[in-house]
Structure 1
Amino acid sequence: MLVDFDTLPDESRVWIYQANRSFSDEELSDIEEKLKVFLEAWTAHGSDLKAGYTIKYKRFIIIALDQELQSATGCSIDASVHFIQQLEQAYQVDLMDKMNVSYKQGEFVAYKPLIEFRKMAKDKAVSKNTIVFNNLVNNITEFKENWEVPASESWHSRFVK
């Protein structure tokens, strides 16, 4: 059951998929339609899942699930991963690699492999004040408070001094 992302409780579980490039407006329109269809039909053991989505900066797909009504199961999570893999193939984009880092350079969102980000930190090209995206947040509260933060306040802190 698809609901507006902003109406979901703060405890709702989130999954964040970052793209290795920005989506075009046309791609975003198509992806939103596919997300609506998928989430409207998403179930766990035959029960509807109350879920919503948002897309940020034309590159982050965030899916949230209200687990008070029905929790995700292994099968329902597998279905969502399969759906994201279909998007990867359809748009020739990487959405599943968690070993990449997105960060802000002014208003621009940059994307680097972790190895390159570590080198940039060593070379002082990024700092503890660089705004990074912590895609490891677990729920909407964490998403609101700890997703877009200075590197010093995220797991990225181990690379910046």
Structure 2
Amino acid sequence: IWAYQADRKLTEQESELVSAQYKSFCEGWEAHGQPLKTSFHLLLNQFLILAVDEGVHHASGCSIDGSVRLLKNLQNQRINFLDASKIAFLINDEVKLFSRLELKPLFASGYLSSQTITFNNLVATKGDWETIWRIPVEKSWMAKYLVNHTLVQ
């Protein structure tokens, strides 16, 4: 599993473009001449999830590079899944992005809390994606900053 986060919510047309390009890519995705069993999901018009069933055949470095090349090509359309400078939170059923520098005042004000949902884009397996992709802040890397449900230095 590879989880990528766009730097903003995509428009419907952009989502359709990404879906069409990844549908085509996944249908022809190979490693060392062997077809890969793959799938993708575009979630919340903001997250691209790519999956390879490694029980069928493992993705190679070159095949993974091909998937990243497509992400880089999307940047020509002003669609950026490779900017990891912002952290996503689910607030009132909407994805909101904030830089790390914005976190302390957002926690201090109560806008973000230990229970606010964030996204763990480092998931590596389908099981992880199903169970720990969406997690409360208190179960994320940000938990170390929480004291009494506020962010500390």
TM over 0.5: yes
The answer to whether the 8 A contact 1:122-1:160 is kept is no
Q: Distance in 2 between matches of 1:139 and 1:44?
A: 19
Task: Tell me if the contact between 1:122 and 1:159 (Cα under 8 Å) persists in the aligned partners.
Answer: no
Task: Please state if 1:53 is matched with 2:59.
Answer: no
- Retained in 1: the 8 A contact 2:40–2:49? yes
* Greater Cα radius of gyration, structure 1 or 2: 2
Structure 1 residue 22: deviation in Å?
A: 1.0
**Match in the other structure for 1:28:** 15
SS at match of 1:23: coil
**3-state SS, counterpart of residue 48 of structure 2:** strand
Q: Give the distance between the partners of 2:104 and 2:53, measured in 1 at CA.
A: 35
Output the TM-score relative to the length of structure 2: 0.88
Q: How many pairs does the alignment contain?
A: 147
CA RMSD of aligned residues (A): 1.5
Residues 70 and 56 from structure 1, CA distance in 2 versus in 1: closer, same or farther, beyond 3 angstroms? same
Q: TM-score, normalization: structure 1? A: 0.84
Give the match for residue 101 of structure 1.
87
Question: Could you give the per-residue CA deviations for residues 94-149 of structure 1, whole angstroms, max 9, x where no partner exists?
Answer: 31123320001111110112232344335543111111011111111111111111
Q: Secondary structure at the match of 1:128?
A: coil
- Counterpart of 2:139 (choices 134, 153, 156) is 153
CA deviations on 1:9-50 (whole Å, 9 max, x unpaired) are xxxxx1011011111111111211111111111111111111
Could you tell me how far apart the structure 2 residues matched to 1:122 and 1:72 are?
Answer: 43
Question: What is the aligned partner in structure 1 of residue 69 from structure 2?
Answer: 82
What amino acid maps onto 1:72 in structure 2?
A
Q: Which range moves more in the overlay, 75-84 or 116-125?
A: 116-125
Matched with 1:129 is 115
**1:18 and 2:5 equivalent?**
yes
* Shift >4 Å, 4+ stretches: none
CA drift of 1:150 comes to: 0.5
